[in-house]
Homo-oligomer: A and B are copies of this chain.
């Protein structure tokens, strides 16, 4: 039973196979009256495109979005917003030889077990191509959040074990993240990563990495216990990206080694009664901005671990559809590391969760007498 819908109040469905006619999305539940045009969507899609520097696939998708509905005179109508992005760079021939082979680390085999057939032309729905539709939907969510003063930013925190400085370090530079090919917020780290990636490429290898995401301007009170907590929905959203193998909030796994007094963030005096001013300050942010699954007014902080790209040039042993061992060499256009292109996708998924919970919060406030 299909799992292509996400969100309850701000709801999105995505569609499209990597080598079909198009990918796209429909957003249902976006409030009316919001300023939105195709340029906003295109801008976010462009960030997802190959950025150069040798990290990215050489496949050049046009990624030209068309908004089919839901917008009139530059404003949302309150009706479903459908966005289509045609697949232009289809070269199905590249994939023909993969028809009867199960690539290691790919969903080929499980997809076939599940559905009895698959579109072998490039991953179908399990291709990264599908994430273009998420970015388009995320652009709508972002436009909504921007009007509410919320800003979502992600970057590559580590590649192949090489880590960028922490955000509170002097060497951390968020502007730099948009200037280098890896979206790493530090020029020196980016250089080290470039060097390491070239080595790996030469060896027919690939790399994983870590993407960090932070959200500023988020009011306290977002999240719907007990199952739709802010961190629970973000975890689902981020883990639904094919290459993600782990997610952590605030101090994350490190928190499991701290003592209680070290890990607790103390609320600081002088913030005034919460709710009245919205200003809440803490002695630290091990919580990553979330307490009991609800935003606490501090910066939202989480990290996602991406596995290395499974498609590598190096020869690998695997099996074919008859269960026979074969040697596989995957050529074609593949990223060595998925992180830089994953950055806008992580932002998009985060925006979708926050837009949904912002709308859902409105009903909490109804009888509580909160305007």
Contacts and interface: CB of A to CB of B under 8 A. Distances in A.
Nearest to A28: B2
Contact of A255 (B75, B225, B255, B307): B307
B23 A69 contact: yes
Given A72-B119, A221-B114, A359 B1 contact: yes
Given A77-B118, A268-B319, 10 more contacts: A2-B29, A2-B30, A5-B11, A5-B13, A13-B28, A24-B69, A33-B369, A109-B274, A255-B306, A264-B316
20 contacts: A1-B361, A3-B225, A15-B26, A17-B69, A22-B69, A31-B367, A32-B117, A78-B115, A79-B125, A111-B294, A113-B220, A158-B256, A160-B257, A203-B259, A231-B239, A235-B235, A235-B239, A236-B239, A240-B293, A259-B308
B31 A363 contact: yes
Given A205-B259, A240-B227, A76 B367 contact: yes
A24 B67 CA distance: 12
A248 B359 contact: no
B110 A291 contact: yes
A144 interface: yes
Contacts of A112: 274-275
A270 B320 CA distance: 11
A189 B258 CA distance: 18
A130 interface: yes
B260 A207 contact: yes
A248 B256 CA distance: 14
A4 interface: yes
Contacts of A371: 371
A23 to B, nearest CB: 7
Contact of A221 (B113, B200, B256): B113
B261 A250 contact: no
Contact of A256 (B119, B209, B323): B209
Given A229-B239, A271-B323, A9 B20 contact: no
A79 B113 contact: no
Given A260-B310, A362-B366, A293 B68 contact: no
A262 to B, nearest CB: 8
Interface string A186-199: 00000000000000
A323 B8 contact: no
A172 interface: no
A46 interface: no
Nearest to A360: B1
A78 B16 CA distance: 11
B224 A3 contact: yes
Contact of A269 (B239, B247, B268, B325): B325
A101 to B, nearest CB: 10
A364 interface: yes
B246 A239 contact: no
Contact of A227 (B6, B105, B147): B6
A245 B263 CA distance: 12
A26 B6 CA distance: 14
